[in-house]
Structure 1
Amino acid sequence: MLCLQDEWVVCRIFHKSTGLNKPTNPSRRRINSTVDDGLSGVMDPASSSGPRSSFTDAENVVKGTSGHSSSSYLNPLGAAVRPGLVQLNVEHRLSGSIVSGPSLDTWLSADMKPQVTPSAGDNLNLGAAIDLINRFSAMARVCLAEFSHVKPTHSSKNRFPYPAFLRIKRSPLSLPSFLLPGEKRSKLFGKATHEMDHRAEWVLVLALGVCILGRSVEGLGVNWGRMAAHKLPPKTVVKMLKDNGIQKVKLFEVDPSTMDALAGSEIEVMVAIPNSDLATMNSYQSAKNWVKKNVTNYNVEGGVKIKYVAVGNQPLHKSYNNTFDKVTFPALKNIQNALNEAGRGDSVKATIPLNSDVYYTPPDRPVPSAGRFRKDIRGLMTLILEFLSKNNAPFTINIYPFLSVYANKNFPFNYAFFDGATPVVDNSIKYTNVFDANFDTLVSAMKAAGHENLTIMVGEVGWPTDGDVNANIRNAYRFYDGFLPKLAANIGTPLRPGSMEVYLLSLLDEDAKSIAPGDFERHWGLFRYDGQPKFAIDLSGMKQEKLLVPAQNVEYLRPKWCMLNPNAKDLSKLGENIKYACLYADCTSLGYGSSCHGLEPSGNASYAFNMFFQVKNQDPQSCGFQGLGTITTQNISQGRCNFTIQIAAGFSVAAGLTRLVVVCLQFAIVVALLAAT
């Protein structure tokens, strides 16, 4: 079964002959079923115990590594791969046992045409293979052959879930053509000719079903920002939230299409007023109008479950040079009073997401118990605390352990995580991580202001995966692998034990965000720009190291890239053209320590040209660059540096539903053919 949560495809493999299961070659070696680094291994059919005819009775789960659904397993190190034979494992779950499935092979390539098969011993990047499969058909996922070899690519000590690589050793099968309307030729299923004493015919059957939803830590939400050149449709994102059991979302605006998609979802929503509108909200009538349009209008039976209104976004940050100091508190008062007047004040609370730079500890006593609010806003903070307390609204704080590392090269690196560090001792309390210390510094500052019991909510916390030497998959995994179990256990902090409400930063990467804070700012997402998960993360906090459920039915632009023309002779204008491309597209992955750092100069140019080309929806004129650019259909990704193919600008859920209808029709045809035989 390939489980895509509450809308998924079941892959069942029916065997049309009675004799099966005994390979003709008994010397085929068994692959160790338990790999010492934590990856789930696979077993060769020759060594699996018990009869195999139960494949017609039980579910088969397509897996990648470490128990992850291969339909969504993406390579955090980049998606470059040589086109060719793709082999995946089929796991069979009976009484907890894991055995390999039948051998079926598929040919896929970047342009969906059969290519030269890799020779024995060639490595295929699993993430890239899955990326190709996703592009081929989001619904017609492929149940394929067992891994013939699993090669761990990460340290057994860290058990970090980098994908394994596939080592091909079998010859390709002779498979008939299989096409979806509007898609190029591929080969998907047919007669098997592998090492079995009967030439067994296997048929891939697709069906729809219901699956148990993923779940997350109670009180856990995500930030959903939409500053991207190509946005996923809101309905697709809402389904992704539900598929992953995420029941709380924090927005940075009130977008009608987003609100319509959230209607009826039962997801708790924090809507937001941008900083640029705070001055307008100083008018009570304007605040009433805003509440009517953006809260009352949606917060109805069967509508959007609005719980909070974020009044600004870190409006008191030092970088704003006091720009919003005088308008923030009046806006907060007017919005909450307007909510009260509209009869929504008991269920919807106004709050101000603030950066942790609103408090500090003195240089001579840098411990949490010495926390105080900044002197320049201390009076303002007291007014805010009093008003929030009066209206039973939470204080919202954003905490970024990553920024502690980023801003101070002497910061103790391990202190940013949760797996043990030299503690900071504050009286009798030992702080082993900066999150707890930062949070309790706020608790102490609130206590000093006379409001130590006010509820605190964490509006943003997370770890970026690119754009800096410390912003990468490994560190992000390490951070969440410590933080989420801590939340699940309701440990809290030394001064605030118990559960806490937290919003992770963030759901998706945003390639159009300002990079004033740093290049990492566009890479906070748990998911890539296209809704594909970056790495294994268990939102329940149970450390199951499972992949998140990806966005479904994502449509991509054609497999075309823009690159530096290798025949270009005059390179004198190359620098200015790269600069121009990066002005309008995201080149942050080229920075020092980032995923594409270290490319040759020609690679840097090609990366910049392609990012601009994709932002412009692959318009041929956008690959000119004064004669320096040329379009190619060959994937020019290099190593861990992925040269992006953007999602289609016209991508819609309707397109995905059309695919689903096609798959169902194909299912009916297959059933009819089986019945006829």
Structure 2
Amino acid sequence: MFKQIIAMFSSRSVAGISLFLALTLVGGVEGTIGVNYGTLADNLPPPRKVAKFLMESTVVSHVRLFNANPEFLRAFAHTSIAVTVTVPNDQIPDLTRLNFAQQWVQDYIQPHSPATNIVRILVGNEVISTANKLLIVSLVPAMQTLQTALVAASLDGRIQVSTPHSLGILSNSSPPSTGKFRQGYDTHVLKPLLSFLRDTNSPFMVNPYPFFDCSPDTLDFALFRPNAGMFDENTELFYTNMLDAQLDAVFSAMKLLGFDDLEIVIAETGWPSMGDPTQVGVDAESAAEYNGNLMRHVTSGVGTPLMPNRTFETYIFALFNEDLKPGPTCERYFGLFRPDMTPVYDIGIVRPTVAAAANIQLATFLLEMILSQHPNPSAYAART
């Protein structure tokens, strides 16, 4: 029985080892897997412990923070993990002033770089979807001013400036070839934003969530399962999963404005492991299926029908379950890990050596339990 137990737990590690090799062999930063490190919880471990765990025990190489908290930036010093920080939405109007931008860089970036590998600053999050006119008109000027401040500090070669968007920026998305940005925002906001990204060699960042767009009829399509797929008659291309369709809709919108040469980064995507009874596919099995298939897909080099032969820098939402997040139940259960840093489900995030050690430890514990309860432990052990 001991051999059977070891074999059972070893087989669970095969997927993790395969994924680890895939992540290791894909060249360049584009194929890397990151996590969104949200902190809307009252039970999370200290940042230094989290940084050490990610560095030593997981395949995660990139982390996105939703602020620029110095405690968190210090925690990731000397870990080599690439860190993305965020300027909160409410600071965007102030960031249009050069003196504010320079002071922000001086306070939040310069004390930590290069010890902490800060690679990108995001100006807000899903700003256009807020419908806040002041934030929207300030977005591109704030990005430009922040870039000027980075140049003055000689950090522009090390740190990119971008901003993530929800798919609400699209007015059309199906079929993917008809994707286009919302009228008004396309020429007045997104075209100058895309020009800025091209000039600074920075990516266009989006937050695609198949979970929020799926129904019982499209669940298989969202989870990368075998399904009937979707045919785009305009391009005669076939789609086997919803994420590809969402990304290609964004690509089509960018192409309409003449910016199909820019890289696309998946700033957020994920799947909850728990939710309300009325929601589709809210369980740990579906979450493991989506995120596991996601990781394999974006690092495979297959790309999408309109963007073949490429990988995507991808940030899974989220690192932890966050018990203080408002909204429906699912919002608090997007985490890959519980606050005690045990996996909610196994998708190969934990390094194979760590997972194998944990499996052997568990198998040993189970064997000891069996032997302790058997009337003749030595005879039982001999039979196994």
User: TM class by shorter-chain length?
Assistant: 0.7 to 0.9
1:493 aligns with 2:299: no
* CA gap 1:216/1:252 in 2 versus in 1, 3 angstroms: farther
Alignment of 1:492-571 (within 5 A): 492-497=303-308, 498-515=310-327, 518-539=328-349, 547=355
* Aligned equivalents of 2:275, 2:10: Cα separation in 1: 27
SS in 1 for 2:101: helix
Query: For residue 199 of structure 2, what is the amino acid of its counterpart?
Result: K
Match of 2:305, SS state, is coil
What residue in structure 2 maps to residue 419 of structure 1?
225
1:40, CA displacement in angstroms? 3.7
3-state SS in 2 of match to 1:457: strand
CA distance in 2, matches of 1:397, 1:316: 12
Matched, 1:463 2:271: yes
Q: Which amino acid aligns with 1:326?
A: V
Structure 2 counterpart of 1:313, one-letter code: N
Separation of aligned partners in 1, 2:94 and 2:291: 38
**Is 1:482 the counterpart of 2:288 in the alignment?**
no
If you compute each CA radius of gyration, which structure gives the higher value, 1 or 2?
Answer: 1
Q: Paired residue for 1:186? A: none
Partner of 2:83, secondary structure, is strand
The whole-number CA distance in structure 1 between the counterparts of 2:275 and 2:133 is: 29
CA-CA distance at 1:224 after TM superposition: 0.5
Residue of structure 1 aligned with 2:92, choices 278, 282, 294: 278
- Equivalents in 2 of 1:223, 1:273: separation in Å? 15
- Quote how far apart the aligned CAs of 1:232 are: 0.9
Instruction: Please show how residues 173-212 of structure 1 align to structure 2 within 5 Å.
Output: none
Q: Does 1:329 align with 2:137?
A: no
Counterpart of 1:374? Answer: 182
- C-alpha deviation, 1:514, in angstroms: 2.4
Corresponding position: 1:391 with 2:205 = no
Q: Is 1:263 paired with 2:89?
A: no
Per-residue deviation, 1:410: 6.1
Name the SS of the counterpart of 1:279 in structure 2.
helix
Q: Tell me the distance in 2 between the aligned counterparts of 1:475 and 1:548.
A: 24
Aligned counterparts of 1:471 and 1:328: Cα–Cα separation in 2: 35
Q: 1:490 to 1:549 in 2, by over 3 A?
A: farther
Shift of 1:320: 4.0
TM-aligned CA deviation for residue 373 of structure 1: 0.4
Q: Give the structure 1 partner of residue 126 of structure 2.
A: 314
Answering whether residue 116 of structure 2 is matched by residue 304 of structure 1, we say yes
- Amino acid aligned to 2:268: E
Point out which structure has higher relative CO (alpha carbons under 8 A, 6+ apart). 2
State the one-letter code of the partner of 1:524.
F
Find runs of 4+ consecutive structure 1 residues off by over 3 angstroms.
30-34, 64-68, 319-323, 546-550
Distance change (3 Å), C-alpha of 1:287 and 1:549? farther
The answer to whether the aligner puts 1:441 opposite 2:278 as a matched pair is no
The structure richer in helix per residue is 2
- Whether the aligned pair in 1 keeps the contact of 2:32 and 2:299 (CA below 8 Å) is no
Kindly provide the CA deviation profile for residues 482-512 of structure 1, in whole angstroms up to 9, marking residues without a partner as x.
Answer: 2222123211111112111111111111111
Q: Partners in 2 of 1:491 and 1:314 — Cα distance?
A: 28
CA distance in 2, matches of 1:420, 1:439: 19
Amino acid at match of 1:429: L
Equivalent of residue 40 in structure 2, options 227, 233, 258: 227
CA contact (8 A) 1:537 1:547 kept: no
- 8 Å CA contact retained: 2:10, 2:356: no
Render the CA deviation track for 1:567-616: whole Å, top value 9, x for unaligned.
xxxxxxxxxxxxxxxxxxxxxxxxxxxxxxxxxxxxxxxxxxxxxxxxxx
Retained in 1: the 8 A contact 2:37–2:65? yes
Query: Once the two structures are superposed, what CA deviation does each residue of 1:173-219 show, in whole Å capped at 9, x if it has no partner?
Result: xxxxxxxxxxxxxxxxxxxxxxxxxxxxxxxxxxxxxxxxx778251
State the distance in 2 between where 1:401 and 1:501 align.
17
Query: Aligned in 2, Cα 1:449/1:334: closer, same or farther, shift over 3 Å?
Result: same
**C-alpha separation in 2, matches of 1:400 and 1:357:** 11
SS in structure 2 opposite 1:418?
Answer: coil
**Number of aligned residue pairs:** 339
The one-letter code matched in structure 2 to 1:387 is F
Shift of 1:533: 0.7
Letter in 2 for 1:298: H
Q: 1:458 to 1:384 in 2, by over 3 A?
A: same
CA offset at residue 464 of structure 1?
A: 1.0
- Match of 1:581? none
* Residue aligning to 1:638: none
| 1:66, distance to aligned residue in structure 2 (A) | 4.6
Q: Does the 8 Å CA contact 2:93/2:134 hold for their aligned counterparts?
A: no
Aligned with 1:257: secondary structure? helix
Query: Where does the alignment leave 5 or more consecutive residues of structure 2 unmatched?
Result: 24-30, 359-384
Q: Structure 1: where are the runs of 5+ without partners?
A: 1-29, 42-63, 69-158, 162-213, 551-677
Residues 280 and 482 of structure 1, relative CA distance in 2, 3 Å threshold: same
Deviations 1:283-341 (A, max 9, x none): 111011111111122113xx111100011011111x54545211211111111121122
Preserved contact between residue 404 and residue 411 of structure 1 (Cα < 8 Å): no
Helix, strand or coil at the partner of 1:471: coil
> Residue 216 of structure 1 contacts residue 540 of structure 1 at CA under 8 Å; is this kept in 2?
no
Kindly provide the amino acid, as one letter, of the partner of residue 252 in structure 1.
Answer: F
SS at match of 1:227: coil
TM-score by length of 1: 0.47
Tell me how far 1:433 sits from its aligned partner: 0.8
Mapped to 2, the partners of 1:419 and 1:410 lie a distance apart of 13
| Matching residue's letter, 1:417 | L
RMSD value, Cα: 2.7
Report the Cα distance in structure 1 between the residues aligned to 2:97 and 2:144, rounded to whole angstroms.
Answer: 10
Query: CA separation in 2, counterparts of 1:500 and 1:488?
Result: 7
The aligned amino acid for 2:152 is E
Question: Which residue in the other structure is 1:429 paired with?
Answer: 237
Change (3 A) 1:295 1:398: same
Pick aligned residue for 1:473 from 279, 284, 300: 284
Instruction: Check whether the contact 2:34–2:314 (CA below 8 A) recurs between aligned residues.
Output: yes
Indicate the residue corresponding to 1:348 in structure 2.
159
Deviation at 1:548, TM superposition (A): 9.9
1:75 alignment partner in structure 2: none
Distance 2:119 2:3 in 1: 50
